[in-house]
Structure 1
């Protein structure tokens, strides 16, 4: 299984989700069976580390994101990954619009795919304060835990 988490700039929500998914996958011994990466629909921050506020908030929870670097979603991602899991409806719309001919990846809202509600979105904390980053951490951590539990339970479908 290959999962790509997508947000706007790949510096707040998607690298956090990548880090949390990897962490929870390691906790249950699935890190070798599930590949996780992240990307942004925009290229403003390519090569940069995650936003310092995201890094700082994650570190308070024992999660190290410092080794991650932003990258932009590319055509190859639509063939390399099984799922493109988007932070919000705008990201999902961009992902769908940019899909190249013959794309095999499926796309969904990350929170919705995690079973956290139809149309559920991760708000962008970029213009918010510390409480916005903590709120996003709480949402994404809950989603990552649900996704990993779903992947660990071989009786549950992972194709919808």
Structure 2
């Protein structure tokens, strides 16, 4: 299975989400069965490392995202990935605009898709401070934990059979 986490610039939320997911998956029975990547709907930061504040936040939680590089979401991502998981409704709309008609069902908001019920959007911490990055991390970490539960428990996930 292949998951793609999407935000606006691919330097804050989506690389933190990719890192949180990878870390959770590596410590679960899903290790080696699920691939995770990230992308942004905008191409401003293409080729750049994650925001230093995102790197520092992830590092505080034992996850290294410093080697990731920003890339822009492409329509062929809908053919390569099983699920396109977006941080907020605006990025979901942008992703859906790129989706081939037969693949539109692959795109969803990350938090609700994961089963998080107390929030539906991962707020963009870019214009905030450390507390904003920590808040986004806490939501992404909760989503990562929920994704592992979802993929491990559901026979239709394609990961763990009945």
- Report the TM-score when normalising by structure 2: 0.91
Q: Does structure 1 residue 32 correspond to structure 2 residue 32?
A: yes
- Number of the residue aligned with 2:97: 97
Higher helix share: 2
Q: Whole-Å Cα distance in 1 between the matches of residues 25 and 14 of structure 2?
A: 16
- Report the TM-score when normalising by structure 1: 0.92
- Number of the residue aligned with 2:87: 87
Q: Does structure 1 residue 137 correspond to structure 2 residue 137?
A: yes
- 8 A Cα contact 1:47 1:69, kept in partner: yes
Q: Whole-Å Cα distance in 2 between the matches of residues 118 and 41 of structure 1?
A: 25
Q: Structure 1: give runs of 5+ residues left out of the alignment.
A: none
1:99 Cα deviation from its structure 2 partner: 1.3
Q: Does structure 1 residue 146 correspond to structure 2 residue 120?
A: no
Q: Structure 2: give runs of 5+ residues left out of the alignment.
A: none
More off after superposition, 127-136 vs 146-155:
146-155
Spell out structure 1 runs of 4+ moving beyond 4 A. none
How many residue pairs were aligned?
A: 158
Q: Does structure 1 residue 106 correspond to structure 2 residue 106?
A: yes
* Aligned counterparts, 1:1-160, within 5 A: 1-103=1-103, 106-117=106-117, 120-155=120-155, 157-158=156-157
More off after superposition, 120-129 vs 24-33:
24-33
1:75 Cα deviation from its structure 2 partner: 1.7
